[in-house]
Chains A and B, each alone.
Chain A
Amino acid sequence: MRALSYARVADVDEAIALVAGHPDGAFLAGGTTAVDLARLGVLRPGLLVDVNDAAPDEVVELQGGGLRIGSMARMSDVARSPAVVARFPVVSQALLAGASAQLRNMASMGGNLCQAVRCGYFRDVASACNKRDPGSGCAAMDGVNRTHAILGVSDTCIATHPSDLAVALVALDAVLHTRRPGGGRTIGIDDFFLLPGQTPQSEHRLDRGELITAIELPAAGVARRSVYLKLRDRQSYEFALASVAAAIRVTDGIVSEVRLALGGVGTKPWRARRAEASLLGQAAGEASFAEAARQELAQASPRPQNAFKVELAQRAIVRALQTLTSGDAQ
């Protein structure tokens, strides 16, 4: 690991000024990405500014049923927050489906959204990677890419976005609150994550020195009945091959409201808007679920090794929706 400086500050604006003012400055929260990638030489921070004491870590209940989660809240704490469990079970389930107990104790909510991809070629400084070294090529394109993305891919990058949490948040239209030199702003989470396109090195919209301070979950009655289904190569402590965050409201047998997002298959957490549009107003049941899944995955661009994900993701969508509606009178 490159030698680096370190500062632990208790004030967000001071942290922002420090990072923005250093040519290789970066924030340090839980460290599960930053320390890992710095040791691998993938990131080369010259200054790490520890913001664990700076940004908020509470879960605040908002009027009307929403929640505001401090960006320094730990994954483990948010997963067991009674308000999160009751109002947004899909968020709690997604958090508990990710990483391990130790990592969830360390990793912050804000850091989770900024975590880097797990593509083995990105993590290996000896391999071509347009994300790590723009213009160097993509070793994954014709390499070992069984776990890579099939949605949102470009000819520069097919790395899968790794976060489970982000999939749930995208389904729920979460809003990120940030601070940066000169002020703050809000960013809708679906706008926050960027497709690789021709600039795979840019994964999100944060400026240099911009820090997520809170994640707001807008009130959503439909989310009280929500689920996160994660399919993976082993039962625990593994990234998704395909995952689904789903919430649905069925009125008199007809789908009146639905939220669907996919993980493990996209270069960003994938809001399944085609599937949602297909489902609205239809009779809830396997036929409409399968048709919606088919329409969403029709836009997939698989490679030979990960072509199985096209079918797997469709089955996951159907299973998740069946799980949510199995108790309903059809």
Chain B
Amino acid sequence: MFKQLAHDRNFLGAMFMLPAAAFLLLFLVYPLGLGIWLSFTDAKIGTPGEFVGLENYEWIIGDSKFQTAVFFTIFYTVVASVIKFAVGLYLALLLNQHLPFKAIIRAVVLIPFIVPTVLSAIAFWWIFDPQFSIVSWSLRQLGLLSGNINFLGDTWNARYSVIFANVWRGVPFIAITLLAGLQTVPPSLYEAATLDGATRWQMFVKITYPLLTPIIAVVMTFSVLFTFTDFQLIKVLTNGGPAGATELMATMSYNTAILGGRIGEGAAISTAMVPFLLAAILVSWFGLQRRKWQQGEDND
């Protein structure tokens, strides 16, 4: 039956792909290429610019602001991802227990992920206020602190504050997706392990973790990717300050290209993120390969 249609299958497929392909080619593939081209030009807002070779890259690599941005972007990604993974996995394990009102708790946990980042970042902005912070106030009332904490005004305080806000927003996503993975682990495995005298830690290391690795690989790739290219949180909370201490590559490219008008340079900064993203995608790829290998068959 299907063979009869085979002669026009490719044509039919092309027709069906047309709308999606049009969007992706016009607004994703073309700009992606254009971005790389722009990074080799001296384009400014309003002027197309001419090819200048590697000049933009030479300039940004020597720029101490860019070096700080790269350092902080990596620091931000690594620290936030590690904490998000640890807390997210812990929360997933907690939620996988037999709990009263489990569905409601699970729904509530996901709320930080639903609320638009900018809007929750505004709440954090107020919580991190230098004068009227509720955290400072509470610690003062408890007698743990005499003055206010300068959350966003001090280099390292600001860095840890934005990382905290990022972790807060990212944990629910990781916890809920890992929970979905945990629920596919048959309880009989744990029962068998208990009969064999395994401790909780052994069960976690020998059963839970190995069965979760494929989903962990994918979830963490996404998490690393989105943390590395984060923009909103920093834009709202610190706008890169104090003195560029919390500038990420994404915010720096915005400030350079859109606010500063130096499109070519900004494009070079954002193109410089690509190698890191490729590394993250490779990790995901090998994670998926491992899943196929574990199942001993094709994935489809």
A and B part of one assembly: no
